[in-house]
Structures are given as structure tokens and as C-alpha cells.
Amino acid sequence: MIGRFAPSPTGPLHIGSLLAAVASYLEVKSQGGQWLLRIEDIDTPRQMPGADQAIIDTLESHGFCWDGEIIYQSQRLDLYHEALKRLQELDLLYGCQCSRKQIAEHPKVSMGVDGFVYPNICNHLHLDLHQHAVRIKVSDKMINKNIVFEDLIQGKIEQNLAQQVGDFVLRRADGIFSYQLAVVVDDAAQGVTDILRGCDLLDSTPRQIFLQHCLGLAQVNYCHIPIIVNAAGEKLSKQTLAPALQSQHAVANLHHALTLLGQAPPKELIYESLDHLWQWAFQHWDIGQIPVRQKIV
């Protein structure tokens, strides 16, 4: 069993991201597996300088031990390039010159699970892939076929990619590879077998399974845990001003994360050492206790 935590260095770690780290760590390590750390730093405009190191320091001070070297996606662009080439050879790609505005104003546009469903404006124009955004053809192949998978917590998930997502972007016009492509390539290259992450990525999973199929890669096991939202129902993030985790409160933070994960750690443990709390967590870890729905803090 190989799991991973794959933060984007867009800001410091907060309780929402700690939840995914704790859950995947306990799930994988309690079964004797390996837990990898990967910094997803390809979307350069969204990044905060120094956030990668801040995340690593926070994980360390909270007692996490990852296996092997930390991987940085920014150093693996060749791999994403290769995958794109393979998909091009399979005639699955086309260049797209549409602006957001053009897509939004197109008479046939509809709303999908993650923004607009691309109304296939450029799919027969044979535009140069190097000069434009690159999309993968979903609509032809998946029109009458749903992607179906069994999520360990969310149960059976079904999505019609053609209707709910459409031909999606694998490399943007500015040359940046998409999260969807990079994550699939890396999880396969690192031998990841079990992905445990926040429910905000549940809608992305069918795109990732589709890419795995296209690239001839093994499908992994998925488990999506509830994300933490604020009173307004917004996901905790840098944008919603989620406070950064303080290393000197590591025990309290871990205790809070375990509580939110339904593990019900005894109150007294908050006065014990970090090692002691981790020990308790490993002994009592039960993935079945994780609530299915969102938590509000």
C-alpha cells in the first residue's frame, strides 16, 4: 500500500489540509504501507514563496515521517510532457484558442461540475498544440458511458464526463500543465495505490480515472474525506483566511484533527506528548468513523 500527501504550496498548512494528511497517514501507516510527500508546485501564479518549506516544517513539527525524498512537480515537467505526447499519438488531443469569455458567451455552453462544459468550438480546427491550450477529447468517447468508481467513504460515484465536464484542458496556453494530468502521471510513477484526500476533489476523480485509462495506467483506490467549511459554507483556504497551524500547538491541532475525523480521542490526551497522541491514534484508527458530510468549524 502506498499513499501520499500532495499539498500545493499556495499558503501555509491549515486544519483542513491537516485533516487529509492525518487521515491518509494513519490509514496507510496502520497497514504497514509507505506514505509519500509530494509538493504540487506547477501552478506557479498561485504559489506563495516559502510556502513549501513552511508546509514541510509544519508536517515535521506535527510528527509526520514520510518515506523517501520529497518530490517537487516543478522538477518533473518532462514526465508530463511525455504523457501528453503519448495522448497525442493516440489522437486524443487538440489545440484550443478560446478565451474564457468566448466560452462563457457561447450559445451552446452549459454549466458542469467544475465550471463551463466546453462547447467544442476548436475540436476540428487542427490548431498547433504548441501555440495553444491543449484539450483532451472526452465528448466523442464518453458520450454514452459513465465513469463509475467505489469511494471508500462516499460510496458509488458516477459521472458522465461528456455532459458534466467536457473536453478538458491538460496544458494551458501559458504552458502550465494541468493538475489533472500531473497528479495522474505522478501517482502512477510513484506507485501510489491509495489516494485519500478532501471531498473538494471528488469531482476531479472521474477525469483522473479517464486519464489513467487513456494512458494505460492502473486505477487506484479512492477515499474522499469531508472538507471543513466555515459558517458561510466556504472551504477553508487561504482565500477564506484559514489560520495557519502553529507548531507549538501541534498536540492540540492533532487532537482537533482526530476529533473532526470521528476518532473521539479522550480529552486528557491533549495534555500528553505528541508521541503519545500519535500512539493512541494508531491504536484506535478506524476509517469507518470518518463522517461522510462536511464539518463546520
* Interface ranges with ligand GLU (CB under 6 A): 6-8, 40, 183, 197, 201
Report, in Å, the least distance between residue 252 CB and ligand GLU.
23
Selection from 289, 294, 231, 228 nearest residue 262 by Cα: 289
Rg (CA), the chain: 20
Contact 43, 220 (CB under 8 A): no
| Closest distance of CB 42 from ligand GLU, Å | 10
Q: How far apart are CA 33 and CA 65, in angstroms?
A: 12
* Shortest Cβ 19–ligand GLU spacing (Å): 12
Q: Which is nearer to ligand GLU, 14 or 132 (CB)?
A: 14
CA 257 to chain centre: 19
Instruction: With residue 228 as reference, give the H or E element that holds it.
Output: strand 228-229
Closer to ligand GLU at the Cβ: 4 or 132? 4
Distance, in Å, from the CA atom of 293 to the CA atom of 228, rounded to the nearest integer, reads 9
Nearer to ligand GLU among residue 197 and residue 207 (C-beta):
197
Name which of 17 and 164 has its Cβ closer to ligand GLU: 17
Residue 24 is inside which H or E element, if any?
Answer: helix 15-29
Q: Please, what is the minimum distance in Å from the beta carbon of residue 292 to ligand GLU? A: 19
